[in-house]
Structure 1
Amino acid sequence: MDFVGRWRELRTLDDALAGIRASIGTSKPGRCLILRGRRRIGKSALIEEFAQRSAVPYVFYTSEIGFGTDPLDEFADTVAQSSLPDAEIFTEAFPGNWTAALRQLASILPADEPSMVVLDELPYLMDESGAFESVLQRAWDRELCRKPVLLILIGSDLAMMQALTSYGRPFHQRGSEMRLGPLNPADVAAMSGLDPAAAFDATLITGGLPIICARWRAGEDMWSFLERELADPVSPLIVSAQLSLAAEFPDQTLARQVLSAIGSGERTFTNIARAAGGLAHTSLSRAVNLLVDKGIVAAELPISLTPSKDRRYRITDSYLRLWLTFLGPYLPELDRMRSDLTVDRIRRGWTSWRGRAIEPLIRDSLARLLPAAGIPAVPAVGGYWTRTNDVEIDIVGADRAPVAKELAFLGSIKWLENSPFDTHDLTALQNHRFRLTDDPIPLIAVTRSGASTTHLAAVFTPADLIAAWQPPDDVGSAQI
């Protein structure tokens, strides 16, 4: 399968390598990039693709844990088999420790052309004392950065990778951070061959995880995809969430309880505590903070002209959200080969589930699309709600969040196959606007099936939104 998407990240990597090439002959031409992102998001595949395209000598080392092998032995063996010049020195002179290994590595890096050194799954080499970080920092400062090398450090543990560059840690300010997210709707459309509306549905189901997207057959509708994948007990759609949760929370049963409560649809602190078994405030706060720090859960406040404490929580990964709602609680029926029951359950709950799950993706799309159709670009695109949920506004564009000085536009999302945005929907949006402000702020609609009313400042369709994710003309197509 051709490599799809990631044009922005590939351009960043290209620019880094070009900067190194332009710095050859200076005292410190080397650069370091620190790449982090959720497990199975495609970090290693991105860097492997870039390494192949760049055609520079490189070594790609992936640390492992739990296999009874010495990481230093594996590193030396990997370097010896790499495309670096004089790599065979690692078979002739085996380093006795990491300090010696990195010094020996620096000695074989070219001085007159760029090269790459990739350390994948770096957190497996790190510990609380920061010992490996100190070794890496000394090697970088004294030897590695003096060669025209692009050092790429990759990790899935977001908290540990963030700590790597935090103040007081040895590698502070040594590298530029780069975060890899899921494939976007345009990438999913390119991989699946779907039209814009169906591509958004596929994005919600797969979460943009490349390993799941790759299973989508060209032009296949979502129900055929679900029926086929859920009938396969080893499908990535079933097992990816299990593997990720086991890796993220090996000993955090409380965090798993809270995550399941949020995944079941609970959004407020009180309701999450109740759904998680009546957790105490302190215990729940600790678990929620852990989930937020790992980037798995988002804690959001409504955007309005006055402060609010009505925080809402949601799972950031739509695939994990789907799994926790429809798959995780019913794994035994999948084990009994009754995937038909699971698919029927998804059919019954799909419209309601999708209506909520699509909202953050649409807001993100608008933030990338605007200005368009007379609607200005704004620093913040979010939503508004009250404590009792008697007023909910799907889209709020403002000069800042969560307490805005000025509101730019309000909007409603109607994401149904055969129901356009009509005058009834417009009246509801107008009534809710008066609860937020007395100003005649422009009203917009984001709709899957168009609009039957003309009294809107703008209407955005799936085709409009997916255009926000397309690469610029100088990059070419979404498949690169």
Structure 2
Amino acid sequence: MVSFIGREQQLSTLQALLADIERGSGDPSPGECLLIRGRRRIGKSSLVEAFVDRAGVPAVFFTASGASTDIELEAFTEAVRASTLPEREVFDDATPGNWSAALRQLAGVLPDDQPSVVVIDEVPYLVDRVDAFEGILQRSWDRELSRKPVLLVLVGSDLSMMEALGSYGRPFHQRGKEMVLGPLNPAEVGEMLRLDPAEAFDAALVTGGLPLICAGWRPGDDLWTFLAAELANPVSPLLVSAERSLAAEFPDAAMARTVLSAIGSGERTFTNIARAAGGISHSTLTRAAQVLIDKRVVAAELPLSTTASKERRYRVTDPYLRFWLTFVAPHLAEIERLRGDLTLQRVKAGWTTWRGRAVEPLLRESLARLLPDGALPAAPAIGSYWTRSNSIEIDIVGADREPVAKHLLFIGSIRWLEAAAFDDHDLVALQRHRTAITDDPIPLVALSRSGVSAAGLSASYGPADLLQAWQHSGATRP
């Protein structure tokens, strides 16, 4: 089992909910429901399994598979029969004929005198395949399940559907608390792999903080040792995780996959993406891009400034998927021929350029978590700025709101090179960019991997400073 470094807060949250149920077992409705969502292969199921193991209470764990209603119902029945619920034998004597009966029968076998846990994993499959499943679930929860001292955990990888499940106007609205499970953050990755701060950010970019991929990185190894081993193994998690996730996420959306590949290859503007995707039409690209945005796989961003702009740019939100689309997917055939050494050389040749852009969103998020400090104020919005011609590109813009701000709070530059500090030339360029977007003498900031040699900045931060921003972050109690 992958070590749950960085997941202790989430486990504590689950344990606290179970403790609340135990303390309130005399209430008319002592049950609690928790909705957990997060991208595929992020470790949601493993987290809940670890919690169930630690809890030591009667439990049933069912995972939907996207099969037909009858097959899913049979699998659910088998899961209950194989569970640790004390009266599970009831399901041997009476097989439920539909989901309403199954949930009602489940409520009947849950203990009254001690807490229990019921986990339904990949709930979106049931919502998609079982007619009126949300309503069935809501009625069962209101009438039967919530009246037992049970923690009902609903887990799903389809982020938009899981968000909708608890939203206003839907049957299950306000019936469950929510937990969003993200990847391991850079500090957690660094701790798990015993890396220094700069290397921890590199590892976060390549692995995306996915526990399964991090588990293949031997603690203390550098990036190139890890990549050499992974690229030499055609079935390594680094190679296969993205393909499996995409196949599950977009089974019938070939055009979305094509557009995603174009964005992943480095195209950022609508026109260039359309060209890279084979010259598809405006309407086709719009539909495909919206699918990717709804799935949270792609972000569509606007320049952050005090004036409105239509210069939208697109990027892949998951850095691991971005790495895979750039360096791995186009060369899977050669990796399968056991020539991952060629792929590795290609990664080394393009690494500095790729990393320079890929690390920017992660560093902006690091800065947002770090502020306020003695040098810079907290910024409700931290983004970037660009023009259509790219004559002006500003890596960091802090403002009071986005995408059109009333007040700019600071601007900055990211220089993320191994052997080049942020110098006077970089400072002059940043000052010139400031005059292009504001007349106010707002603070200037630099994020540099290799230090700062220029004088005149309001603040500067290196890898250790930025990593510190993540060291106590995690899920809060829902």
Q: How far 1:58 moved relative to its partner?
A: 1.6
Give the 4+ runs in structure 1 shifted more than 4 A.
66-69
Q: Deviations over 1:164-187 (max 9, x none)?
A: 234443323322232221111111
> Which position in structure 1 is the counterpart of 2:115?
114
Match for 1:298: what amino acid?
A
Q: Deviations over 1:72-114 (max 9, x none)?
A: 2222222222222222322233323222221121122233332
Q: How has the CA–CA distance of structure 1 residues 148 and 375 changed in structure 2, closer, same or farther, with 3 Å as cutoff?
A: same
Q: Whole-Å Cα distance in 2 between the matches of residues 387 and 174 of structure 1?
A: 46
Q: How far 1:277 moved relative to its partner?
A: 1.2
- Are the counterparts in 1 of residues 66 and 129 from structure 2 also a CA contact under 8 Å? no
Q: How has the CA–CA distance of structure 1 residues 129 and 97 changed in structure 2, closer, same or farther, with 3 Å as cutoff?
A: closer
How does 1:23-34 map onto structure 2 within 5 Å? 23-34=24-35
Q: Whole-Å Cα distance in 1 between the matches of residues 405 and 17 of structure 2?
A: 37
Q: How far 1:425 moved relative to its partner?
A: 0.8
Q: How far 1:68 moved relative to its partner?
A: 11
Q: Secondary structure of the residue that 1:329 maps to in structure 2?
A: helix
Q: Secondary structure of the residue that 2:128 maps to in structure 1?
A: coil
Q: Deviations over 1:342-377 (max 9, x none)?
A: 111111110000000000000111111112242121
> Which position in structure 1 is the counterpart of 2:441?
440
Q: Whole-Å Cα distance in 1 between the matches of residues 3 and 126 of structure 2?
A: 32
- Are the counterparts in 2 of residues 410 and 443 from structure 1 also a CA contact under 8 Å? yes
Q: Secondary structure of the residue that 1:84 maps to in structure 2?
A: coil
Percent identity over the alignment is 63
> Which position in structure 1 is the counterpart of 2:221?
220
> Which position in structure 2 is the counterpart of 1:72?
73
How does 1:242-253 map onto structure 2 within 5 Å? 242-253=243-254
- Are the counterparts in 2 of residues 44 and 120 from structure 1 also a CA contact under 8 Å? yes
> Which position in structure 2 is the counterpart of 1:387?
388
> Which position in structure 1 is the counterpart of 2:356?
355
May I ask how many residue pairs the two structures share in their alignment?
474
Match for 1:328: what amino acid?
A
> Which position in structure 2 is the counterpart of 1:190?
191
Q: Considering only aligned residues, what root-mean-square deviation do their CA atoms show, in Å?
A: 2.0
Q: Whole-Å Cα distance in 1 between the matches of residues 380 and 202 of structure 2?
A: 27
Match for 2:318: what amino acid?
D
Matched, 1:289 2:296: no
Q: Whole-Å Cα distance in 1 between the matches of residues 169 and 243 of structure 2?
A: 35
Q: How far 1:259 moved relative to its partner?
A: 0.4
Return 5+ residue gaps in structure 2 as ranges: none
Q: Deviations over 1:1-52 (max 9, x none)?
A: 5321124433432343333334322221212111111111111011111222
- Are the counterparts in 1 of residues 69 and 130 from structure 2 also a CA contact under 8 Å? no
Q: How has the CA–CA distance of structure 1 residues 312 and 472 changed in structure 2, closer, same or farther, with 3 Å as cutoff?
A: closer
Matched, 1:261 2:262: yes
Q: How far 1:408 moved relative to its partner?
A: 1.4
Match for 1:331: what amino acid?
L
Match for 1:360: what amino acid?
P
How does 1:45-84 map onto structure 2 within 5 Å? 45-65=46-66, 70-84=71-85
Match for 1:302: what amino acid?
P
Q: How far 1:152 moved relative to its partner?
A: 0.9
- Are the counterparts in 2 of residues 301 and 308 from structure 1 also a CA contact under 8 Å? yes
Q: Secondary structure of the residue that 1:127 maps to in structure 2?
A: helix
Q: Whole-Å Cα distance in 1 between the matches of residues 405 and 20 of structure 2?
A: 40
- Are the counterparts in 2 of residues 191 and 216 from structure 1 also a CA contact under 8 Å? no
Which stretch has the larger CA shift, 203-212 or 15-24?
15-24
How does 1:141-180 map onto structure 2 within 5 Å? 141-180=142-181
> Which position in structure 2 is the counterpart of 1:126?
127
Q: Whole-Å Cα distance in 1 between the matches of residues 5 and 70 of structure 2?
A: 34
- Are the counterparts in 2 of residues 355 and 415 from structure 1 also a CA contact under 8 Å? yes
Q: Whole-Å Cα distance in 2 between the matches of residues 416 and 168 of structure 1?
A: 50
Match for 1:243: what amino acid?
R
Which stretch has the larger CA shift, 146-155 or 157-166?
157-166
Q: Whole-Å Cα distance in 1 between the matches of residues 3 and 129 of structure 2?
A: 40
Q: Secondary structure of the residue that 2:388 maps to in structure 1?
A: coil
Q: How far 1:427 moved relative to its partner?
A: 0.8
Match for 2:124: what amino acid?
P
Q: How has the CA–CA distance of structure 1 residues 224 and 329 changed in structure 2, closer, same or farther, with 3 Å as cutoff?
A: same
Give the TM-score normalised by the residue count of structure 1. 0.94
Q: Secondary structure of the residue that 1:218 maps to in structure 2?
A: coil
Which stretch has the larger CA shift, 460-469 or 74-83?
74-83
Q: Deviations over 1:97-152 (max 9, x none)?
A: 22222112112223333221100011222237742222211110100111121111
> Which position in structure 1 is the counterpart of 2:301?
300
Return 5+ residue gaps in structure 1 as ranges: 476-480
Give the TM-score normalised by the residue count of structure 2. 0.95
> Which position in structure 2 is the counterpart of 1:408?
409
> Which position in structure 2 is the counterpart of 1:478?
none
Q: How far 1:56 moved relative to its partner?
A: 2.7
Q: Whole-Å Cα distance in 1 between the matches of residues 303 and 7 of structure 2?
A: 31
- Are the counterparts in 1 of residues 256 and 292 from structure 2 also a CA contact under 8 Å? yes
Q: How far 1:260 moved relative to its partner?
A: 0.8
- Are the counterparts in 1 of residues 33 and 175 from structure 2 also a CA contact under 8 Å? yes
> Which position in structure 2 is the counterpart of 1:366?
367
Match for 2:471: what amino acid?
Q
Which stretch has the larger CA shift, 240-249 or 346-355?
240-249
